[in-house]
């Protein structure tokens, strides 16, 4: 009948389109590459998956996805492309969990390496006085946490969300509420195994191939692909006192935050966020507390005012249950929050660290996880945070509320200036993260265009007022802007590129280098 016929025609058309896409993709890949003796394989199916990321704004369709089984699959592939040399312009990018915002783990007509498919070697733990674990570059942090806990151990420095890969966060920095004490994740790595843009497999550390080691850390995937990392561990606590308190005065809020991050005896995790009165559904995605306690903090009625929430955690072993109450009370007694706004709960260590995943599941069930995410992350010098807050929270963002805004200080002394990341010059600087979600069909205050224009207003203000702000998870579209971002570090970034990836094969999605350097 007619419907059956129509269905068959549509099916045929779809098959034809799929075959055509695959064929045109294959045509960009030299046949010699497909003949390499790999344990893994190239795939031309489902390319659109690799043309998506968490940002949901940019799509570069690759020509192929490499599913490596071992490190030599990656090395052989890159070495082959390196040896082809110009005029071949084939690019390669490592894809961790694809949680970039602006296409950083994508490549137009190039090869995406699916890092999560690299299954060996297995995680290897070393106990003793200075414990560590060797993990694969494509390993998710949540898996490392689960495995480490079996040995009573855990990494020291985290991100707020753990379904990210080691290679993905080490290419940036990896910042969360532990960074004030331990530094970012890139300060907690002892050794890396890397495949460079020439296809060489190199082990590097602060004592061996030191320049490559520091290039890779915070290097935006520009100098090599991280296939293994040695992560520093500490004894894991059992439980966490998880606390939120509120402030109506920004100065008091930041004074307390800064006092806490500089004190010897202090909390183990220190963050903070901004609360606007109209708390929307999306604004709650980070709040997964049980009902009796701190979740209430973000729903506090503020009579139109902006409030600031200081978020802290104190880790403890079960046998320390009594002393931790005393210690926590003592620390809290030194703070100047609004006294009626103490929200406190007790959760397991894993529940605390994996807290955002709970919100993810919630948002997924409502279809709100895969929205466009025009995020903006800034590192702001301490001396400029008040000017910034006055203009941004008091003026630019007065009418909107599209997602959480995190704000917390970290100590620069815990960052290594030999790594590739660019940070502000002062001893203390703030991470301010505007984690917006956009409603795709909206042309209003919650639409993508509006949020992007708000982000631009914030960036323009920072530049006009000369605040010395640096973007974290930076995104620029011209080399001029990248040069300005790196400032005095630009020359050494270019030198590192010419040493480790001279044909600019790697990670083109950042749009830093378009051709050989």
Which residues form the interface with ligand FAD (CB under 6 A)?
A: 53-54, 93-100, 104-105, 115, 137-138, 159-161, 164-165, 167-169, 171-176, 220-221, 225-226, 473, 507
End-to-end Cα distance, the chain: 62
Query: Are the C-beta atoms of residues 381 and 258 closer than 8 Å to each other?
Result: no
Cβ proximity to ligand FAD, 226 vs 397, nearer residue: 226
Active-site choice (160, 200, 293, 360): 160
Cβ proximity to ligand FAD, 183 vs 221, nearer residue: 221
Query: Are the C-beta atoms of residues 86 and 40 closer than 8 Å to each other?
Result: no
β pairing state of 64-67 and 111-114: parallel
Cβ proximity to ligand FAD, 123 vs 338, nearer residue: 123
Q: Is 99 tagged catalytic? A: yes
Cβ proximity to ligand FAD, 164 vs 306, nearer residue: 164
Cβ proximity to ligand FAD, 328 vs 419, nearer residue: 419
Residue owning tokens 């007509």: 109
Q: 3-state secondary structure string, 61-122?
A: CCCEEEECCCHHHHHHHHHHHHHHCCCCCCCEEEECCCCCCCCCCCCCCCEEEEHHHCCCCC
CB of 433 to ligand FAD, least distance (A): 8
Using CB positions, name the residue nearest to ligand FAD: 167
Coil, helix or strand at residue 432: strand
* Angle in degrees, 0-180, between the axes of helices 490-500 and 479-486, rounded to the nearest 10: 110
CB of 467 to ligand FAD, least distance (A): 21
CB of 435 to ligand FAD, least distance (A): 8
Q: How far is residue 36's CA from residue 151's CA, in Å, rounded to a whole number?
A: 40
Among 69, 73, 64, 71, residue whose Cα is nearest residue 22: 64
Query: How many Cβ atoms sit within 10 Å of the Cβ of residue 181?
Result: 17
CB of 110 to ligand FAD, least distance (A): 11
How does 304-339 read in b/e, with b if 16+ C-beta sit within 10 Å? eebbbbbbbbbbbeeeeeeebeebbeebbeebebee
Q: How far is residue 208's CA from residue 39's CA, in Å, rounded to a whole number?
A: 29
Q: Is 327 tagged catalytic? A: no
CB of 81 to ligand FAD, least distance (A): 15
CB of 475 to ligand FAD, least distance (A): 11
Active-site choice (271, 311, 446, 501): 271
Q: How far is residue 185's CA from residue 410's CA, in Å, rounded to a whole number?
A: 13
Q: What is the DSSP string of 133-188?
A: EEEETT-BHHHHHHHHHTTTEEES---S---SBHHHHHTT----TTHHHH--GGGS
Cβ proximity to ligand FAD, 308 vs 500, nearer residue: 500
Give the list of residues 6+ apart from residue 361 with CB closer than 8 angstroms, or none. none
Whether residue 121 is preceded by a cis peptide bond, meaning omega within 30 degrees of 0, is yes
Cβ proximity to ligand FAD, 88 vs 117, nearer residue: 117
CB of 229 to ligand FAD, least distance (A): 9
Q: Is 271 tagged catalytic? A: yes
E strand spans, 399-441? 405-411, 428-434
Residue owning tokens 């009573």: 152
Among 137, 25, 138, residue whose Cα is nearest residue 90: 25
CB of 281 to ligand FAD, least distance (A): 16
CB of 42 to ligand FAD, least distance (A): 18
Cβ proximity to ligand FAD, 161 vs 349, nearer residue: 161
Active-site choice (73, 79, 97, 99): 99
Residue owning tokens 């970039």: 100
> Which residues are catalytic, by number?
99, 160, 271
């Amino acid at each position: 009948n007619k419907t059956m016929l129509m269905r068959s025609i549509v099916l045929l058309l779809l098959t034809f389109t799929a075959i055509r896409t695959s064929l045109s993709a294959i045509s960009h890949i030299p046949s010699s590459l497909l003949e390499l003796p790999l344990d893994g394989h190239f795939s031309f199916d489902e390319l659109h998956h690799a043309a998506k990321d968490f940002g949901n704004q940019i799509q570069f369709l690759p020509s192929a996805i490499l599913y490596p089984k071992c490190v030599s699959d990656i090395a052989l592939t890159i070495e082959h492309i390196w040896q082809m040399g110009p005029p071949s312009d084939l690019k390669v990018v490592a894809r961790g969990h694809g949680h970039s915002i602006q296409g950083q783990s994508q490549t137009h007509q190039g090869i995406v390496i699916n890092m999560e498919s690299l299954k060996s070697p297995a995680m290897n733990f070393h106990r003793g006085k200075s414990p560590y674990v060797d993990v694969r570059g494509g390993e998710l942090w949540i898996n490392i946490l689960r495995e480490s806990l079996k040995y009573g151990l855990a990494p020291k420095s985290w991100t707020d969300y753990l379904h990210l890969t080691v290679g993905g966060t080490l290419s940036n920095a990896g910042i969360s509420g532990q960074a004030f004490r331990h530094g970012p994740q890139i300060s907690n790595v002892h050794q890396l195994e890397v495949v460079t843009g020439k296809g060489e497999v190199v082990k590097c550390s602060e004592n061996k191939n030191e320049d490559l080691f520091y290039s890779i850390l915070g290097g935006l995937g520009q100098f090599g692909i991280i296939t293994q990392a040695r992560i520093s561990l500490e004894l894991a606590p059992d439980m966490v006192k998880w606390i939120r308190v509120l402030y109506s005065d920004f100065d008091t809020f930041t004074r307390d935050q800064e006092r806490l991050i500089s004190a010897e005896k202090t909390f183990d995790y220190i963050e903070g966020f901004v609360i606007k009165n109209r708390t929307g559904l999306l604004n709650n995605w980070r709040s997964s507390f049980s009902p009796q306690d701190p979740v209430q903090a973000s729903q506090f009625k503020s009579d139109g005012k902006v409030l600031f929430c200081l978020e802290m955690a104190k880790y403890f072993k079960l046998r320390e249950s009594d002393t931790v109450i005393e210690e926590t009370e003592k620390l809290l007694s030194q703070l100047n929050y609004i006294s009626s706004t103490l929200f406190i709960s007790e959760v397991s260590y894993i529940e605390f660290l994996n807290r955002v995943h709970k919100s993810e599941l919630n948002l997924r069930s409502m279809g709100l996880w895969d929205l466009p995410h025009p995020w903006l992350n800034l590192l702001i010098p301490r001396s400029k945070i008040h000017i910034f807050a006055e203009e941004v929270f008091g003026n630019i963002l007065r009418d909107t509320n599209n997602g959480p805004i995190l704000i917390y200080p970290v100590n620069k002394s815990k960052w290594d200036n030999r790594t590739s990341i660019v940070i502000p010059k002062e001893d203390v600087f703030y991470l301010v993260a505007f984690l917006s979600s956009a409603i795709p069909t909206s042309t209003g205050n919650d639409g993508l265009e509006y949020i992007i224009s708000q982000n631009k207003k914030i960036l323009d203000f920072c530049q006009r007022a000369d605040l010395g702000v640096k973007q974290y998870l930076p995104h620029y579209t011209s080399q001029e802007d990248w040069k300005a971002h790196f400032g005095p570090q630009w020359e050494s970034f270019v030198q590192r590129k010419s040493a480790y990836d001279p044909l600019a094969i790697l990670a083109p999605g950042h749009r830093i280098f378009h051709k050989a350097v």
